[in-house]
Structure 1
Amino acid sequence: MAVDIRTQGLQKPVSVAEYLFARLYEIGIRSVHGVPGDFNLVALDFLPKAKLKWVGSVNELNAAYAADGYARTNGIGALITTFGVGELSAMNGIAGSFSEHVPVVHIVGCPSTVSQRNGMLLHHTLGNGDFSVFANMSSQVTCELAKLNKPAEIADQIDNALRECWIRSRPVYLMLPTDMVEKKIEGARLDQPIDLSEPPNDPEREDYVVDVVLRYLHAAKNPVMLVDACAIRHRVLGEVRDLIEKTKLPVFVTPMGKGAIDESSPTYGGVYAGTGSQPGVAERVESSDLVLSIGALKSDFNTTGFSYRTSQLKTIDFHSTHCVVRYSEYPGVTMRGVLRKVTERVDVGKLAKQHEVTKVVNEVAENRDSSDTITQAFFWPRVGEYLKENDIVVTETGTANFGIWETKYPRGVTGVTQILWGSIGWSLPAAQGAALAAKDMGVDRRTILFVGDGSFQLTCQEVAVMIRHNLKITIFLIYNEGFTIERFIHGMEAEYNDISRWQYTEVPTVFGASDKQVRKFIVKTKHELEKLLTDKEFNEAGGLQFVELWMPKEDAPRALRITTEVAARNNAKAE
């Protein structure tokens, strides 16, 4: 048998697929979402050797949504699709991960390098011999793109892409040709883990920024902290909590930052989102003479239509790539190092005495009335009494994303939302990914999903994947006859905001669940809801639980009403 001289010098020859999947396992991935296709099938054979579990997704869009949910819980996720038809189906989900700073590794099985060089007229192509067109599309929604075409470079490409995915907390794209899957590369490199540490700031520049921050902080009379999504995504919550613990500053979260801070903390004040905030929260944040803003993503739905009434002159912004003190920007000085040094060096004796934070929490008692109808105003505060420590709470774009602002989270709850990208239907697969991540991590956590009936219809097949993997998920399907958020933006009675009436609780049965695998409930009144939420077995959430929850068609959370009014005005604006 002929010897390949290109592999003779390798200390530990391993195939490209073995190397790639070993690295995925090393960085914490245990399950890989995706759909099989002829250009990725041989690669999939190598997953078990790396102790990776193949999820077996129902379609590529759901796979991308699920990998996103997995990453938000686990820290990083992965999916495998096939060239062209598969990767394009997944691109919406990948774009959402890019938009919201979620690290997902997207591996695309593609035609052989020979086929590509010869411009062959293959299936899944555009028929024009261009094999780069889909990668070029993906380059706009990934932070690193690597075509694994040359064995001598592949190990470096894989390691670099995974490092970038982790550090920049955004998706990466790996294009794996069929004839590269079993090529041998240096496996000895696997003895050395990938360096996932962030590059440190230049010490002098970092110290200068810290000094400036401390000067304003020590001089402030009533400073507050505002924690947003990128504090979670870029993993600085430890630094944030240390700063809170030392300074005892009042701290607020944005809707995208909900879950970042322990809401039972004496310094926690509530959710700030401009005019969508509870009045007491808005008054406290907007009257502050210094806002320490950490990881801000000031999108329209995260700020109730850009309605912040805070001044940049009174704001210090900490980001993953730079810091901004008032109007002075410091490129390349990242927040982790600055936050650590601010905590170390802050003189607590120089800080203004803080008044006790007035908590603005909607108590259920405030929203009880003589009616037995389940209203949005009643439901979301009541959910706060049902939640337990360390739950994973997933909310869909629409009523759930806005209603959850009024829900008090117990300690350790992970909030999973998609407020910036806002792709309808995302939450169901994301809940599957989040629950699977918890299972892979070996932790016993309830995963609770709140999804509207309209959104559910877009991605309902994901229930089949939940059943297949025996995941512990409780689904609250809000039955209110259509696309509520769209109704409030425009077209309350318009036909295009209506949907077909499904027998929702029968969906798990259609997808193969036995009576032992799923518990089903239809809840139409407060009395029925109370009975369910206090039921011991329901609270234990031993498997899949499906609740069809009836709410009025023209009812919506307070924050959604305010936000959609702004959205409607913005949509109507002319130049």
Structure 2
Amino acid sequence: MSAATAESLQAEVDRLRLELQTLKSKQGVEKVSIGNYLLTRLAQLGVKSMFGVPGDFNLGFLDLVEDHPDIEWIGNCNELNAAYAADGYARVKNNSLGVITTTFGVGELSATNGIAGAFSEMVPVLHIAGVPSTIQQKHRPLLHHTLGDGRYGAYAEISKQITCHTAWLSNVDTAAQQIDEAITQCLTKARPVYLTLPTDFVQQKVSSERLHIPLARIVIQNEPQTEEYVVDQIEQRVKEVDGDVVVLVDACVVRYDVKAELMAFLEATGFPVYAAPMGKSAIDETWKRYGGIYVGSITDPVIKENVEKAKLIISVGSLKSDFNSGNFSYNIPTRRHIELHSDHVQVAYAIYKDIGFKHLLPKLTERLQQFYPTASKIPVVPFEAKPPKGTTAIITQRYFWPRMASYFRSGDVIVTETGTANFGILDVPLPPKSTLVSQILWGSIGWSVGAALGVAIAAKELGLPRTILFVGDGSLQLTVQEISPMIRLGLKPIIFLLNNHGYVIERTIHGKHRKYNDIADWKWNQLLDTLGDRKTETKSYTITTPKELESLLTDKEFLSNKTITLVEIIMDRLDAPRLLEDQVAIAEKMAAQAAQAAK
């Protein structure tokens, strides 16, 4: 029995025990408040930090949070940033979740964009909304934070569009069960969940018996005969191509916790492996069989050839969005493609529902390891940084990103902003045990700053050495306030501010010289002092030339990382990474072809 199967069976046993506990007429005599029941459940799952903003409908609950021995309240500057922070936290804390607490109406709506992003990108975030008492909900007085028309459930209806589950607590007797179901859904589906907590429920007592049964992600058990048939089909396809297989990994490998199973599969089979942009760092990029990033037609020519010439491609956790696939330009014919997902498998044109990769991968490993002698001889060009030839007087995107490769260390958590950073980092090999956190599908500018707060807290809890943020000046202006709690909490992220005087990703797409892509040029080297607490030491640098950057990246004081640091990198207002320019070019070409066809 594989480890994944054993874990799933235990989770199913625990789930059945919870159902049995629910059916009992008497659940024991030990009581706990609903607020503390919820906090205990979160602590059991490794949640040590909660994000949000206080408001009068959640203050009673926040008393319990502040007094809790294992969970720290992280006060954010606004609810949108809090949602971003919970998103970042969840991405780093495997098998846990991010938690945001807001107040009714104004608070929860402010967080909506961040919650929607977590839904889009499949991140488990629990949104706790402090709401009016059940008596107020029944009689519907004209309360503040309402829409003035008595619709107290309007905000929950909005949340239904951007969460996988909503739980409106209205009955004390079922509150514990609803909390458990909400958290389990969040973990299992790797998407946000919305949970209301009425003010009069916070101190209401419920049985604590259910707390003795742990919660966990429920992984579907594959139907044995169908799974065996799928394994047979895949083995036959691999035999037909004499083991000429390439593996392509993507975001869902991380989201659904199959990194260990995937690595065991790759080690046993020897198949070459590449990653899509959203799958970057899902595989150790120093692994001898790892070849780099595949982004359809805009891929580095060597990588593109090595992927597309394979007679069979096995995708694991694929998510073919526009920016993740080179604007839908994968050159992988369906007949040569096998896709493994969390809830289905596709072999060429045949789709097998309810067959998930968590349990399938160990069986494929056992069956396909016979191809190692052949597969391990397929050449893989090492994924290495490629600095441009010659020198320039200014810092360019093509110089900057390859240069940063030698700055990174094992264990770094790297956050990149939607924009030039998301594209630039793709050409940079990362060291072992490092993690890249990015938001490619939802693409909300400013996300990275709030997310970096959550990432830095999670990294600190896990003992990871450094959090490094790459963000443009335009994006930073949207969410800059969240640097303040970083300083207040004593966190020490290194913030590389790419100052190209506006929205370069937008300029690259359209409007190179339009005023709507311009922003005010802040005094960035004074920012940390302005947002600081007057006592915490900070460091700021402004770098204008490659020589200055070289000097900084070898400076012992800078490398010591003793305090939060901001490094302003001055770049040209029209300079963009290669992949971004290529992405825009192919989009323009496809748009022109579509327009021509429509005539």
TM-score interval (norm. to shorter) = over 0.9
> Partners of 2:71 and 2:200 in 1: how far apart?
22
Match of 2:79 in 1: 60
SS in 2 for 1:448: strand
1:454 and 1:483 in contact (8 A); partners too: yes
1:489 and 1:567 in contact (8 A); partners too: no
SS in 2 for 1:141: coil
Equivalent of 1:429, from 438, 447, 450? 450
Equivalent of 1:521, from 541, 544, 561? 541
SS in 2 for 1:408: coil
Calculate the aligned-residue CA RMSD, in Å. 1.6
1:21 and 1:50 in contact (8 A); partners too: no
2:490 and 2:536 in contact (8 A); partners too: no
1:223 and 1:291 in contact (8 A); partners too: yes
Are 2:281 and 1:263 aligned?
A: no
1:451-498 alpha-carbon deviations (Å, 9 max, x no partner): 000000000001101001111200000000100010011100000000
SS in 2 for 1:145: strand
Query: What are the residue-to-residue correspondences of 1:163-178 with 2, within 5 Å?
Result: 163-178=184-199
SS in 1 for 2:179: helix
Are 2:526 and 1:503 aligned?
A: no
Pairwise CA distance, 1:363: 2.4
Corresponding letter in the other structure for 1:29: V
Query: What are the residue-to-residue correspondences of 1:184-333 with 2, within 5 Å?
Result: 184-221=205-242, 222-333=244-355
1:25 and 1:51 in contact (8 A); partners too: yes
Corresponding letter in the other structure for 1:200: Q
Match of 1:33 in 2: 51
> Percent identity of the aligned residues?
46
> How many residues matched?
566
Pairwise CA distance, 1:219: 2.4
> Partners of 1:57 and 1:569 in 2: how far apart?
43
TM-score where L is the length of structure 1: 0.96
1:473-532 alpha-carbon deviations (Å, 9 max, x no partner): 000000001000100111000000000010112111111244752111000000100011
Equivalent of 1:71, from 90, 97, 100? 90
2:80 and 2:114 in contact (8 A); partners too: yes
SS in 1 for 2:126: strand
> Partners of 1:269 and 1:146 in 2: how far apart?
44
1:10 and 1:185 in contact (8 A); partners too: no
Corresponding letter in the other structure for 1:274: G
Match of 1:362 in 2: 385
Equivalent of 1:463, from 477, 483, 488? 483
Equivalent of 2:153, from 118, 132, 136? 132
Corresponding letter in the other structure for 1:553: R
Equivalent of 1:490, from 495, 510, 521? 510
Are 2:558 and 1:535 aligned?
A: no
1:218 and 1:350 in contact (8 A); partners too: no
Corresponding letter in the other structure for 2:419: G
2:285 and 2:383 in contact (8 A); partners too: no
Corresponding letter in the other structure for 1:105: L
1:433-462 alpha-carbon deviations (Å, 9 max, x no partner): 101011122x04200000000000000001
Pairwise CA distance, 1:9: 6.7
> Partners of 1:458 and 1:301 in 2: how far apart?
22
Pairwise CA distance, 1:332: 0.9
1:377-403 alpha-carbon deviations (Å, 9 max, x no partner): 111111111100010000001100000
Corresponding letter in the other structure for 1:542: K
Corresponding letter in the other structure for 1:355: I
> Partners of 2:581 and 2:271 in 1: how far apart?
31
1:267 and 1:357 in contact (8 A); partners too: yes
Pairwise CA distance, 1:135: 0.6
Match of 2:30 in 1: 12
- More moved, 467-476 vs 199-208: 199-208
Are 2:108 and 1:90 aligned?
A: no
Question: Which ranges of structure 2 fall in alignment gaps of 5 or more residues?
Answer: 1-24
Equivalent of 1:51, from 63, 70, 91? 70
Corresponding letter in the other structure for 1:346: L
Provide closer, same or farther for how the CA distance between residues 350 and 449 of structure 1 changes in structure 2, counting only shifts above 3 A.
closer
TM-score where L is the length of structure 2: 0.92
Corresponding letter in the other structure for 2:143: L
Match of 1:4 in 2: none
Question: Which ranges of structure 1 fall in alignment gaps of 5 or more residues?
Answer: 1-6
Corresponding letter in the other structure for 1:566: I
Match of 1:448 in 2: 468
- More moved, 122-131 vs 417-426: 122-131
> Partners of 1:147 and 1:185 in 2: how far apart?
17
SS in 2 for 1:548: strand
1:518-558 alpha-carbon deviations (Å, 9 max, x no partner): 11100000010001111122223122010000111111100
